[in-house]
């Protein structure tokens, strides 16, 4: 039986990072990465899931979030899925933010990122000090 997936992060666009960060802090999320003026990442209070904001020039109503699913053995799982007939937009590759990622769209066209981050998921070298 194949391994399951674990929901980690949703990234959504924003127009004003500071205003959006303030809003999500008010909701009770914990800010763990802040790269002004472009990016912020939050950790949910339970379960280890994270939520991110990315500064955009504009946000269209048809814009959709990217949904991330972490897999222990990303490369092997992508190969299994490809063998089952699924077509990926990109093969697994290492990213500058220290994650290994592969992208695929669901039947509705939503972009999914299957990834492996290990310790860097919650503890990147640039994480804010507590």
Alpha-carbon dihedral angle through residues 30, 32, 89, 98, given to the nearest 10 degrees? -150
| CATH number of this structure's domain 1-58, picked from the four choices 3.30.1360.100, 3.40.50.10470, 3.40.50.620, 3.10.180.10 | 3.10.180.10
CA dist., res. 49 & res. 97, Å (int): 17
What was the pLDDT predicted at 57?
A: 85
| CATH number of this structure's domain 71-123, picked from the four choices 3.40.1160.10, 3.30.720.110, 3.40.50.300, 3.40.1360.10 | 3.30.720.110
Residue 93 has pLDDT above 70, yes or no: yes
CA dist., res. 51 & res. 49, Å (int): 7
Average pLDDT on 31-56 reads 89
> Could you report the per-residue pLDDT of 46-69, keeping only the tens digit for each?
778 898 888 888 766 555 778 778
60 or 97, higher pLDDT: 97
> Could you report the per-residue pLDDT of 1-32, keeping only the tens digit for each?
578 888 778 887 888 899 888 877 876 779 99
pTM for this one?
Answer: 0.63
- 129 contacts: CB under 8 Å, gap ≥ 6: none
Q: Count Cα neighbours of 42 within 13 Å in the Cβ-side half-sphere.
A: 22
pLDDT category of residue 92 using cuts at 50, 70 and 90: very high
């Amino acid at each position: 039986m194949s391994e399951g997936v674990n929901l980690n992060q949703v990234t959504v666009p924003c127009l004003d990072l500071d205003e959006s960060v303030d809003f999500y802090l008010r909701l009770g999320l914990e800010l763990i990465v802040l790269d002004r003026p472009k990016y912020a990442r939050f950790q949910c209070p339970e379960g280890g899931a994270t939520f991110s904001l990315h500064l955009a020039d504009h946000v269209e109503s048809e814009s959709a979030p990217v949904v991330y699913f972490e897999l222990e053995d990303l490369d092997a799982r992508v190969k299994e899925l490809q063998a089952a007939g699924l077509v990926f937009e990109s093969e697994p590759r290492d990213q500058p933010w220290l994650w290994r990622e592969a992208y695929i769209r669901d039947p509705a066209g939503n972009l999914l990122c299957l990834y492996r981050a290990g310790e860097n998921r919650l503890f990147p070298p640039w994480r804010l000090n507590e």
